[in-house]
Amino acid sequence: MSQLDAVLKRIDADLEASLDRLFALLRIQSVSTDPAYKDSCRAAAEFVAADLNSIGFAAEVRATAGHPIVVGKSGNGKANGKPRVLFYGHYDVQPVDPLTEWAHPPFEPRMETLPDGRKIIIARGACDDKGQAMTFVEACRAYRAVTGGLPLPITMMIEGEEECGSNHLFGFVKDNAAELKADLALVCDTSMWDSATPMVTTSLRGLVYEEVRLTCADRDLHSGLFGGAAQNPLRVLSKILAAMHDDNGRVTIPGFYEGVPELPTEVKADLKGLNLTAETFLGQVGLKAPAGEKDRMLIEQISTRPTCDVNGILGGYTGEGAKTVIAGQASAKISFRLVGDQDPMKIRATFRKYVQECLPADAKATFGEFGGSPALSVAYDNPALGKARAALTQEWGTKAVAVGSGGSIPIVGDFKDVLGMDTLLVGFGLDDDRVHSPNEKYDLKSFHKGTRSWARILAALAG
Amino acid sequence: MSQLDAVLKRIDADLEASLDRLFALLRIQSVSTDPAYKDSCRAAAEFVAADLNSIGFAAEVRATAGHPIVVGKSGNGKANGKPRVLFYGHYDVQPVDPLTEWAHPPFEPRMETLPDGRKIIIARGACDDKGQAMTFVEACRAYRAVTGGLPLPITMMIEGEEECGSNHLFGFVKDNAAELKADLALVCDTSMWDSATPMVTTSLRGLVYEEVRLTCADRDLHSGLFGGAAQNPLRVLSKILAAMHDDNGRVTIPGFYEGVPELPTEVKADLKGLNLTAETFLGQVGLKAPAGEKDRMLIEQISTRPTCDVNGILGGYTGEGAKTVIAGQASAKISFRLVGDQDPMKIRATFRKYVQECLPADAKATFGEFGGSPALSVAYDNPALGKARAALTQEWGTKAVAVGSGGSIPIVGDFKDVLGMDTLLVGFGLDDDRVHSPNEKYDLKSFHKGTRSWARILAALAG
């Protein structure tokens, strides 16, 4: 029996015990956004650190101005000369409200069997990210049990503020760059393509988030007296927002597409092969027709193409009934998802210039800035990507796909910028996991085969 | 001394006593929108009815499902053969909040002298509409005192729900049409052009008020996952609102300008002669440039031209900071000010059709209806208008102007539709009266010369 086979066997044999450990972690109410759970967050950090210490990491709970960060380092041991990986996960969870929609208490994890036979773990954090992070920890544990060590040196960094902005993580990474630096980052906080098809997330879109506040008159006006003559900020705002897209769904802001790469032909063919239909993807939320760039496939629109979205808009009278007012102010929140080499600073500046140039007489604009991060991607020919895909394909019996994600994970940018390393995103979440919602779940299969997948990936990366 | 001169002299001599009567009415807290003041509203109605009875009207407090309406009829007397006029006013007032901004209790009327020497009456309702309505009553009182009767037959209708929608007035007018019908309606609830220049308001814009609610996805979506592919109702709404005006400020909804009259050359010249500048009119609210139809004078934009205004807009995330959401819904409140023969029903229908035709795939619209009334105007060659202008010119020593108002007074429409009569709107309010706001006031000069003006107008109409 190969070493890897022995590790996989150990994972199978230890499944019950690994579930007990996961459930113990799930019972800790580590809701990071609510100060009332501060002690629980610390308890979760201490639980994780103790667990890591028990499997040979030198792990500590490190204080920050917010919730602590757990850092654990394996010795080099016999893995000398192998690349070091940094694993990132988070022990904090989303709030549970509305509590009344939970079938069972969110911090009392339980196993259930669905009508289709799938066994699921139900609890807040079952998937995001306690269940996912523990697949990696359990893979390490099995390696340690079987071989007395790890196939390659590993640094663990498990934070407690992912669900409330990771506010103290960025400074922490900068302050501890020398210690945290590795050859590759691994993250387990993403999904499978579907329940049969494993996936490596090869890119994350960047984000520029802006708030525009328009002011016209210095007070709200009566539309009977001033209607027709006074500049109306709601009308100005509508014009600006409406003009941001042309009839083909392309963003009109000058220079917006600078740095947007065309996909290699074979990658485009791979994406096409996934055959993502509007019925499947949009149908689940009551929609039918892709609303993005008309000359792009749906899968491109949501993963490899940049977007501009209006996220919020407010102005004038919005209560019940009618009020004949011309507002003095209006505001909108607008975000851009970036890909390739689009420059967040440049996009922000160009957007603001665009708005200023749209303003008619009597309209003034001010701006608020809420985050900006560039897109990130693993090169399609990165050897680690190939190794991870092969390992996943072997475990699941279905070819692992490599797809870009539409979302943004800002810390991955810091891994690149501050620590100079790529990140491999592998996760086992499913679309029906109800992440951030009541009755969050994680498939037992995701947990079990996820653990086995990490064992295979670690072996592959060490090989 | 002519009869009119005697009446004017009587008004001058009785000024102190007429102020005492006004102050007594101002002390009654007849806030109509707040059920807590129900008894006060009734008390105000009874005060008005008793006062009318004391000067020869057969006046009654008539119950409605809301606050009562006072109706008083003069006998024909020696005025036999003269046209009958219906005077409309209201005894109810706006709420007083924020109370802390009042320099003195709002229902303890007081006289003050401004630094420029103007004497003012300060109280809630001092102008709107107790002070204004009492100018007419005091003119009648003086006539009665001097001549034993009125120069022409008069029906009084003083309601108590003007400040909360006149909900029961419309049915009342319909139910009592035969009794209320007259040859001409008179209303004292408008303003002077400026403190030296009297004004007859010759037209009121109509109003169509709509709410549009757009729905796309059946829930709010994560813009990372769905951004670029999911139809965004905020974007759809912006496009619809933006397209409602062209670059020249004209409304683009098909057929919108049907029924909009061109002004007679001399009326246009009169308006031009008023020389209303953007500096004067817009400068007071921090604006500089008229934002309406580019080929129209400012005075036209706010009085004789129709408009389309976005009064409110709401959708997506509007709290502090950032949320990367694509909303499931968005809504806007939109109103149209109508002039001439524009048909509210038709405008509403055309607007809804326009919105429906703008909708892309996956966007659905529903509509809410909040009021619709046509524009109203007195013909520029109506003899009553000429008589009133001449009387006002004589009283104030400055040529009385005839200007359209941008606002809407729905009951005037019923006077036309149900009772088949025109309305002459003459009022003595000033721009600085703080109507609906704390420290509402009415100039003593408005009250005194307003009363004298009505005496002259009644004489002219009877002549």
Full DSSP string of B380-410: TT-HHHHHHHHHHHHHHSSPPEEEEESS--H
Indicate if the pLDDT at residue B120 is higher than 70. Answer: yes
The backbone torsions φ and ψ at residue B333, rounded to the nearest 5 degrees and listed phi first, read: -110, 130
Calculate the average pLDDT of chain A. 94
Q: List the single residue in A227, A315, A321 with the smallest CB-CB distance to B337.
A: A227
Q: Strand A199-204 and strand B401-405: pairing? A: unpaired
β-sheet bridge partners, residue A33: none
Please answer yes or no on whether B226 and A408 come within 8 Å at the CB atom: no
pLDDT number for residue A410: 76
Nearest by CB to A218, from B286, B291, B313: name it: B286
Q: Give A-chain residues touching B237 at CB under 8 angstroms.
A: 238, 313
Task: Please compute the mean of the pLDDT values over residues B9-38 and round it to a whole number.
Answer: 97
User: What is the value of pTM for the model shown?
Assistant: 0.83
Cα–Cα distances (Å) from A91 to A44, A132, A250, in that order, read 7, 10, 39
> Using one digit for the tens of pLDDT, what is the confidence trace for A10-54?
999 999 999 999 999 999 999 998 999 999 999 999 999 999 999
Q: How confident is the model at residue A436 (pLDDT cuts 50, 70, 90)?
A: confident
* Cβ contacts of A205 on chain B, cutoff 8 Å: 224
Over residues A199-207, the mean pLDDT reads: 93
* pLDDT > 70 in chain A, percent: 99
pLDDT of residue A320: 86
pLDDT > 80? residue B410: no
Residue A227 is nearest to which of B221, B230, B309, comparing CB atoms? B309
The order of strands in the sheet holding B110-113 is: B110-113, B119-122, B441-443
pLDDT at B78: 47
Q: What's the rounded mean pLDDT across residues B378-394?
A: 93
- Using left for φ > 0, alpha for ψ between -120 and 50, and beta otherwise, residue B280 falls in alpha
Beta partners for B402?
A: B200
B320 — pLDDT class (breaks 50, 70, 90): confident
Could B311 and A325 be called an inter-chain contact, meaning their C-beta atoms sit closer than 8 Å? yes
* Mean pLDDT lowest among A58-67, B236-245, B259-268: B259-268
pLDDT at B76: 65
Q: What are the chain B neighbours of A363 within 8 Å (beta carbons)?
A: none
A246 half-sphere exposure, CB direction, 13 A CA radius: 10
Please list every residue in chain B whose beta carbon sits closer than 8 Å to the beta carbon of residue A278. 229
Name the residue of chain A whose CA is nearest to B431's CA.
A225
pLDDT of residue A78: 47
Residue type, A50: A
Average pLDDT, chain B: 94
A288 chain-B contacts, CB cut-off 8 A: 361-362
The answer to whether the CB of B189 falls within 8 A of the CB of B306 is no
Spatial distance between the Cα atoms of B290 and A361, rounded to a whole number of angstroms: 9
* Cβ pairs bridging A and B (under 8 Å): 273
| pLDDT tens-place string over residues A243-258 | 999 999 999 999 999 9
pLDDT value of residue B372: 85
B230 and A286 within 8 Å at the Cβ level: the answer is: no
Is A213 exposed, middle or buried (CB count within 10 Å of its CB: 0-12, 13-18, 19+)?
middle
Closest-CA residue of B relative to A318 is B312
Return the pLDDT at B80. Answer: 66
Contact A318 B305 (CB under 8 A): no
Which residue in A221, A281, A309 is closest to B227 by CB distance? Answer: A309
Per-residue pLDDT, B437: 86
Q: Do B218 and A314 touch (CB under 8 A)?
A: no
Q: Do B291 and A317 touch (CB under 8 A)?
A: no
Q: Is the pLDDT reported for residue A353 higher than 60?
A: yes
Of B234, B370, B406, the CB nearest to A227: B406
* Model confidence pLDDT, tens digit, residues A370-426: 878 889 988 888 899 999 999 999 999 999 999 988 877 778 988 998 999 999 999
* Chain A residues with CB-CB distance to B245 below 8 A: 235
Phi and psi of B92, rounded to 5°? -85, 160
Q: Give me the torsion for CA of B392, B394, B397, B403, rounded to 10°.
A: 30
Looking at CA atoms only, how far is residue B285 from chain A in angstroms? 6
A311–B326: do the CB atoms touch at under 8 Å? yes
Please tell me the distance in Å from A188's CA to the nearest CA on chain B: 17
The verdict on a CB contact (< 8 Å) between A230 and B289 is: no
Q: Which of A298, A322, A331 sits opposite B370 (nearest CB)?
A: A322
Average pLDDT over residues A124-144: 97
Which stretches of B27-105 are DSSP H helices? 38-54
Q: What pLDDT, on the 0 to 100 scale, is given for residue B163?
A: 87
CB contact under 8 A, A287 and B219: no
pLDDT tens for each residue of A57-92? 999 999 999 999 999 999 764 456 789 999 999 999
**Chain A environment of B227 (Cβ under 8 Å):** 302, 307, 309, 335, 337, 406
Q: Which chain B residues have a beta carbon less than 8 Å from that of A239?
A: 238, 242
Structure confidence by residue, pLDDT tens digits, B181-208: 999 999 999 999 999 999 999 999 999 9
Residue A76 has a pLDDT of 65
Find chain B residues with C-beta within 8 A of A311's C-beta.
223, 234, 316-317, 322-327
Q: Which residues of B touch A315 (CB under 8 A)?
A: 312-314
User: Which residue type, as a one-letter code, is found at position A306?
Assistant: P
Which of B235, B257, B339 is best to mutate for the A interface (most A CBs within 10 A)? B235
Rounded to a whole number, what is the distance in angstroms from the first to the last CA of chain B?
17
Q: Are B362 and A314 within 8 A, CB to CB?
A: no
Judge contact between B123 and B26, C-beta under 8 A.
yes
Q: Does residue B235 surpass a pLDDT of 50?
A: yes
User: What's the pLDDT band for A182 if we cut at 50, 70, 90?
Assistant: very high
Chain A nearest CA to B423, separation (Å): 19
Q: Residue A333: its chain B contacts at CB < 8 A?
A: 316-318, 322-323
Environment class of A196 (CB within 10 Å of its CB; exposed 0-12, middle 13-18, buried 19+) = exposed
Q: Contacts of residue B209 in chain A, CB cutoff 8 Å?
A: 322, 324
Q: Report ipTM for this prediction.
A: 0.83
DSSP-assigned letters across all residues of B296-350:
S-HHHHTTTS-EEEEEEEEEE--SSS---EE-SEEEEEEEEEE-TT--HHHHHHH
If you average pLDDT over residues A350-375, what whole number do you get? 94
From B370, which residue of chain A is nearest by alpha-carbon distance? A322
A108 CA: distance to closest CA in chain B (Å): 28
pLDDT confidence of residue A267: 86
CA distance A263 to chain B (A): 17
